[in-house]
Amino acid sequence: MRQVLLAIALSFRAGYCLEVATPSQTVHPVPEPSVEIWLTLGRSRYYEGSLRAALEAYEKGVKLDPRSVEAWLNGAVILEETGDLRRALRWYEKAAALKPDAEIFNAAGWAHLRLADLAGATTAFHRAVELRSDHGFALLGLGRTALDSGNPEQALAWLDRAAAAAPNLNLIPYYQGKAHEALKNDDRAIESFRRSVVMDSYFSEGRDLLAKAYLRSRNYREAWDQWSKALDAEPKSRRLRSLLYKVQALLRHAPEQMKRRPPPPPVPLETESAPGQVPVLRVGVGTDPLGKIRARSSASFKVNTDFELVDPKTGKAWLAGQAHEAWHVSVKRAKKKRFLAFMSPAGRPPLEKPGPVSIRPKEPGRSVIWIDESSPAAMAVRGELEIAMHRGHLRLVNSLDLENYTHGVVSREMPIDSPLEALKAQAVLARTYALHLKKHRQTHRKDGYEVCDQQHCQVYAGVRAESPRSRQVVDDTRGRVVTYQGRVASTIYTANCGGHTQSGKEVWGHVPYWIGRSDAPEGRREILDPWELKQWLRAWPKSYCGPSAHVYPSHYRWTRSVSFKDIEEEMARKLKIGRLKSIRPLKRSQAGNVLSLLVQGDRRSVKVVSEIKIRGLLGLGSLRSTLFVMETELGKDGKPQAFMFYGGGWGHGLGLCQSGAMGRAESGQEHDRIIRDYFPGVEISQLSY
Ligand SMILES: [Zn+2]
Ligand SMILES: [Zn+2]
Task: Please provide residue 300's backbone torsions phi and psi, each rounded to the nearest 5 degrees.
Answer: -115, 155
Kindly give the distance from the C-alpha atom of residue 648 to the centroid of ligand 1, in angstroms, as a whole number.
26
What does the alpha-carbon distance between residue 197 and residue 170 come to, in Å, rounded to a whole number?
7
Q: Which ligand is nearest to the CA of 542?
A: 2
User: Do 296 and 223 sit in the same domain of this protein?
Assistant: no
pLDDT above 50 (res 628): yes
Cβ atoms within 10 Å, residue 189:
25
Position 642 scores a pLDDT of 92
What does the alpha-carbon distance between residue 585 and residue 600 come to, in Å, rounded to a whole number?
11
Q: What is the mean pLDDT of residues 485-510?
A: 95
User: Do 213 and 289 sit in the same domain of this protein?
Assistant: no
Half-sphere exposure of 204 (CA within 13 A, CB side): 23
In a domain, 69, yes or no: yes
User: Do 550 and 609 sit in the same domain of this protein?
Assistant: yes
- 6 band by pLDDT with thresholds 50, 70 and 90: very low
In a domain, 3, yes or no: no
In a domain, 317, yes or no: yes
User: Do 235 and 312 sit in the same domain of this protein?
Assistant: no
DSSP code, position 462: G
- 12 band by pLDDT with thresholds 50, 70 and 90: very low
- Measured CA to CA in angstroms, residue 399 lies from 282, 291, 446 at distances of 5, 16, 17
CA-nearest of 227, 230, 220 to 254 is 220
Kindly give the distance from the C-alpha atom of residue 346 to the centroid of ligand 1, in angstroms, as a whole number.
37
Q: Which ligand is nearest to the CA of 450?
A: 1
Position 256 scores a pLDDT of 53
User: What is the enclosing helix (H) or strand (E) of 43?
Assistant: helix 35-48
Please report, as a single letter, which amino acid is at residue 632. T
Q: Which of 19-28, 130-139, 270-279 shows the lowest mean pLDDT across its residues?
A: 19-28
Which residues constitute the domain of residue 303?
Answer: 282-400
Kindly give the distance from the C-alpha atom of residue 477 to the centroid of ligand 1, in angstroms, as a whole number.
24
**What ranges in 217-303 are assigned the alpha helix state H?**
220-233, 238-250, 255-258
What does the alpha-carbon distance between residue 480 and residue 278 come to, in Å, rounded to a whole number?
12
Position 566 scores a pLDDT of 87
Kindly give the distance from the C-alpha atom of residue 297 to the centroid of ligand 1, in angstroms, as a whole number.
21
Kindly give the distance from the C-alpha atom of residue 451 to the centroid of ligand 2, in angstroms, as a whole number.
26
Kindly give the distance from the C-alpha atom of residue 433 to the centroid of ligand 1, in angstroms, as a whole number.
11
CA-nearest of 381, 371, 301, 380 to 342 is 301
Position 310 scores a pLDDT of 96
Last residue in a domain, options 334, 367, 400: 400
Do residues 61 and 46 lie in contact, with contact meaning Cβ atoms separated by under 8 Å?
no
- 334 band by pLDDT with thresholds 50, 70 and 90: confident
Do residues 480 and 684 lie in contact, with contact meaning Cβ atoms separated by under 8 Å?
yes
What does the alpha-carbon distance between residue 219 and residue 506 come to, in Å, rounded to a whole number?
48
What does the alpha-carbon distance between residue 106 and residue 562 come to, in Å, rounded to a whole number?
21
In a domain, 453, yes or no: no
Q: What is the DSSP string of 68-95?
A: -HHHHHHHHHHHHHTT-HHHHHHHHHHH
What does the alpha-carbon distance between residue 246 and residue 447 come to, in Å, rounded to a whole number?
39
pLDDT in tens, 666-680: 999 999 999 999 999
pLDDT in tens, 599-623: 999 999 999 998 989 998 887 888 9
Kindly give the distance from the C-alpha atom of residue 444 to the centroid of ligand 1, in angstroms, as a whole number.
7
Do residues 305 and 362 lie in contact, with contact meaning Cβ atoms separated by under 8 Å?
yes
Position 5 scores a pLDDT of 43
pLDDT in tens, 634-655: 888 888 899 999 999 999 999 9
In a domain, 420, yes or no: no
Tell me what percent of the residues of the chain surpass a pLDDT of 90.
75
pLDDT in tens, 63-98: 999 999 999 999 999 999 998 999 999 999 999 999
User: Do 521 and 626 sit in the same domain of this protein?
Assistant: yes
Q: Where are the beta strands (DSSP E) in 238-350?
A: 280-284, 298-303, 307-310, 317-321, 327-334, 337-343
Do residues 67 and 98 lie in contact, with contact meaning Cβ atoms separated by under 8 Å?
yes
Task: Please provide residue 230's backbone torsions phi and psi, each rounded to the nearest 5 degrees.
Answer: -65, -40
CA-nearest of 343, 276, 262, 268 to 305 is 268
In a domain, 19, yes or no: no
Kindly give the distance from the C-alpha atom of residue 428 to the centroid of ligand 1, in angstroms, as a whole number.
18
Q: Which ligand is nearest to the CA of 288?
A: 1
Domain of 183, CATH number, reads 1.25.40.10
Kindly give the distance from the C-alpha atom of residue 453 to the centroid of ligand 1, in angstroms, as a whole number.
7
Q: Which ligand is nearest to the CA of 541?
A: 2
Half-sphere exposure of 473 (CA within 13 A, CB side): 32
Please report, as a single letter, which amino acid is at residue 302. K
pLDDT above 90 (res 186): yes
In a domain, 276, yes or no: no
Q: Where are the beta strands (DSSP E) in 354-403?
A: 357-361, 369-371, 379-381, 384-390, 393-401
Do residues 540 and 136 lie in contact, with contact meaning Cβ atoms separated by under 8 Å?
no
CA-nearest of 502, 500, 499, 528 to 515 is 502
pLDDT above 90 (res 134): yes
User: Do 233 and 141 sit in the same domain of this protein?
Assistant: yes
Classify strands 384-390 and 393-401 as parallel, antiparallel or unpaired: antiparallel
Kindly give the distance from the C-alpha atom of residue 675 to the centroid of ligand 2, in angstroms, as a whole number.
13
User: Do 390 and 328 sit in the same domain of this protein?
Assistant: yes
Position 146 scores a pLDDT of 97
Last residue in a domain, options 348, 366, 400: 400
pLDDT in tens, 535-546: 999 999 999 999
User: Do 118 and 165 sit in the same domain of this protein?
Assistant: yes
- 350 band by pLDDT with thresholds 50, 70 and 90: confident
User: Do 212 and 301 sit in the same domain of this protein?
Assistant: no
pLDDT above 60 (res 9): no
Do residues 268 and 364 lie in contact, with contact meaning Cβ atoms separated by under 8 Å?
no
Kindly give the distance from the C-alpha atom of residue 656 to the centroid of ligand 2, in angstroms, as a whole number.
8
What does the alpha-carbon distance between residue 145 and residue 242 come to, in Å, rounded to a whole number?
32
User: Do 162 and 63 sit in the same domain of this protein?
Assistant: yes
What does the alpha-carbon distance between residue 567 and residue 569 come to, in Å, rounded to a whole number?
5
Half-sphere exposure of 186 (CA within 13 A, CB side): 12
Kindly give the distance from the C-alpha atom of residue 679 to the centroid of ligand 2, in angstroms, as a whole number.
13
Counting runs of H as helices and runs of E as strands, what totals does the chain give? 25, 24
pLDDT above 90 (res 259): no
pLDDT in tens, 221-239: 999 999 998 888 888 888 8
Kindly give the distance from the C-alpha atom of residue 440 to the centroid of ligand 1, in angstroms, as a whole number.
14
Number of structural domains found in the chain: 3
Kindly give the distance from the C-alpha atom of residue 556 to the centroid of ligand 2, in angstroms, as a whole number.
8
Q: What is the mean pLDDT of residues 340-346?
A: 87
- 376 band by pLDDT with thresholds 50, 70 and 90: confident
In a domain, 443, yes or no: no
What does the alpha-carbon distance between residue 476 and residue 403 come to, in Å, rounded to a whole number?
11
Q: Which ligand is nearest to the CA of 501?
A: 2
pLDDT above 90 (res 345): no
- 261 band by pLDDT with thresholds 50, 70 and 90: low
Q: What is the mean pLDDT of residues 28-44?
A: 84
Q: What is the mean pLDDT of the chain?
A: 90
Q: What order of strands is seen across the sheet that includes strand 640-648?
A: 557-563, 640-648, 628-634
Q: Which ligand is nearest to the CA of 438?
A: 1
Please report, as a single letter, which amino acid is at residue 510. H
User: Do 367 and 236 sit in the same domain of this protein?
Assistant: no
Which of helix, strand or coil describes residue 601? Answer: strand
CA-nearest of 232, 187, 180 to 208 is 232
Last residue in a domain, options 400, 433, 468: 400
The CA angle 613-615-618, to the nearest 5 degrees, is: 100
Position 571 scores a pLDDT of 87
What does the alpha-carbon distance between residue 689 and residue 480 come to, in Å, rounded to a whole number?
10
Kindly give the distance from the C-alpha atom of residue 62 to the centroid of ligand 1, in angstroms, as a whole number.
51
Kindly give the distance from the C-alpha atom of residue 416 to the centroid of ligand 2, in angstroms, as a whole number.
19
- Measured CA to CA in angstroms, residue 505 lies from 10, 113, 469, 509, 510 at distances of 24, 39, 37, 4, 4
What does the alpha-carbon distance between residue 85 and residue 118 come to, in Å, rounded to a whole number?
14
Q: Which ligand is nearest to the CA of 524?
A: 2
With 0-12 CB in 10 A as exposed, 13-18 as middle and 19+ as buried, what is 615?
A: buried
User: What is the enclosing helix (H) or strand (E) of 186?
Assistant: helix 186-199
pLDDT in tens, 415-452: 999 999 999 999 999 999 999 999 998 899 999 999 99
- 21 band by pLDDT with thresholds 50, 70 and 90: very low
Kindly give the distance from the C-alpha atom of residue 292 to the centroid of ligand 1, in angstroms, as a whole number.
7
User: Do 135 and 238 sit in the same domain of this protein?
Assistant: yes
pLDDT above 90 (res 391): no
Cβ atoms within 10 Å, residue 598:
16
Kindly give the distance from the C-alpha atom of residue 432 to the centroid of ligand 2, in angstroms, as a whole number.
20
Classify strands 280-284 and 451-452 as parallel, antiparallel or unpaired: parallel
